[in-house]
Amino acid sequence: MRATRPLYREVLRDAVRIVWRNKHLWPLGFFAGMLLSGSPYDLISRSWTLVLGSPDDAYRSGLAADLYALWNAIAEKGLAGWTWSIPLLVAVLLVLVAVIAWISVVCQGALLADVDALDEKRRPDLQTFFKTGMGKFWPILGINVLLRLAVTLASLLLAAIVIPASRYDGPVLLAATIVGFLVLIPFSYVAINVAFFAAMGIVRHKQGLAESIRDASRLVARHWLVVLETSALVFLADIVATFAIAAGVTVLTVPFFVLFLGALATKSAIVFWLVLTVYLVIVVGAILVAASAVVTFHYAVWALLAERIRTGDVSAKLVRAYHAMRRVFSRK
C-alpha cells in the first residue's frame, strides 16, 4: 500500500515540537526511563552486558549473588553477630525497588497520556495524566515485567551460545558473537516496539494487558518495515544528540578548566573542591536534563507512530521507493 502522507517527517517533526514546547514532560521522561527508556539498543546493551559481564555467573541472580558475597564478607571479618542486618538490607532494597518501579510506571502512563493529549490538541493537565498513570499502573507494570522477562530469557539463550564459545579463540568465538547479535538485534526491536505500542493501547484505547500485547504484536508484524525505518531514524537522531551533549560538555569544561588552573595557582584546597563541586553539579545536571529530553523524544515518537499506523494507510519508504523505481522502468 502507498502512504497517504509523509509519515516519518510528520512523526519526527511532531515529536520534536511536543518535546521542545512542553518541557514539563522532561521530568516525566527522566523517571519513566528508569525502567523503559524507549531505545532498542538499550535493550541490546543490557542483554549483552548480562551475557558477557560475568560468564561464570550468567545463570545466577545478580541480587542473590551480591547478597551472598556480602554475607561472606561479614562472616570473614568476624561480624557474624550482625548477620541479622541481611534481612533488613533486603527489605530496604525491596522497598527502594518498589518505590522506583511505582514512580517510573506512573510516569510512563502520565507521559503517554500527555503526548496523546498534545497530539489531539487537548490542553495538558498533569493531575489528570498522573491519575491515568496510577489507574493504569498494573497493566503497564505487567508490560515492563514481561519485557524484562523476555530480555532475561533471550540473554540466557544467548549465554548458552556465547559462553561455551568464549573458551575458544578465533573463528568460533567470532561466529558465536555474530550469531548472538543477529538474534538479539531484531528481538530487541520487536520487544521494545511491542511494549510501547501495548502501553499506548492501554493508555489511549483502554485495552487490557493481554489485548494490548496481542494488538501491538499484530501492528509490529504488519508494519515491521515501517517500525524498522523509524528505529533507524531515531538511532540517527540519538547519534546527533550524543554529539550535541558531548559538545555542550566540552563548552562547559573550558571556563572551568581556567578556574581549575586558578585554584591550583592559589594552592587553596577549598577553592579547588568548590570549583570541582560546581563543575560536577552543572555538568551532571546538564547531562541528566539532556538525557531526559532524549527519552521523552523516544516516548513521543513511538506514541505518535503507534497512532499513525493504527489509523492511517502507511507503507515503508523502501516499499514506496521500490514501486517508484518500477514505474520509472515500466515507462521505458
217 band by pLDDT with thresholds 50, 70 and 90: very high
Q: Output the pLDDT for position 41.
A: 73
Which H helix or E strand runs over 312?
none
- Per-residue pLDDT of 104-163, as tens digits, reads 999 999 999 999 999 888 877 778 889 989 999 999 999 999 998 888 888 788 777 777
* 8 Å CB contact between 227 and 220: yes
Q: Which residues contact 141 (CB under 8 A, 6 or more apart)?
A: 101, 105
HSE toward the beta carbon, residue 167, CA cutoff 13 A: 6
- Per-residue pLDDT of 29-82, as tens digits, reads 999 998 888 777 777 777 777 676 544 444 444 445 555 565 566 556 555 555
> Which among 49-58, 229-238, 295-304 has the top mean pLDDT?
295-304
Domain ranges of the chain: 7-331
The per-residue DSSP string of 142-159 comes to HHHHHHHHHHHHHHHHHH
The per-residue DSSP string of 225-274 comes to HHHHHHHHHHHHHHHHHHHHHHHHHHHHHHHHHHHHHHHHHHT-HHHHHH
Q: Output the pLDDT for position 49.
A: 72
Cell output for 328: 520509472
Q: How far apart are CA 158 and CA 164, in angstroms?
A: 10
- Per-residue pLDDT of 155-164, as tens digits, reads 788 777 777 7
Q: Which of 43, 39, 14 is nearest to 29 (CA)?
A: 39
The 3-class SS string of 185-201 reads HHHHHHHHHHHHHHHHH
* 8 Å CB contact between 195 and 143: yes
Whether the pLDDT of residue 309 is over 60: the answer is yes
Percent of the chain residues past pLDDT 70, beyond the cut? 81
Q: How far apart are CA 186 and CA 221, in angstroms?
A: 12
Cell output for 282: 552543572
Looking at residues 241-269, what average pLDDT do you find? 88
The per-residue DSSP string of 203-218 comes to HHS---HHHHHHHHHH
289 band by pLDDT with thresholds 50, 70 and 90: very high
Q: How far apart are CA 66 and CA 104, in angstroms?
A: 24
pTM for this predicted structure = 0.83
Residue 312 φ then ψ, to 5°: -115, 165
- Per-residue pLDDT of 157-216, as tens digits, reads 877 777 777 777 677 777 877 777 777 888 888 888 999 999 999 999 999 999 999 999
Residue with cell 541528566: 288
How many other CB atoms are there within 10 angstroms of residue 294's CB atom?
23
The per-residue DSSP string of 27-61 comes to HHHHHHTTT--S-HHHHHHHHHHHHHS-GGGTTS-
Angle, helices 224-266/171-204, rounded to nearest 10 degrees? 100
Cell output for 174: 567470532
Q: How far apart are CA 109 and CA 103, in angstroms?
A: 10
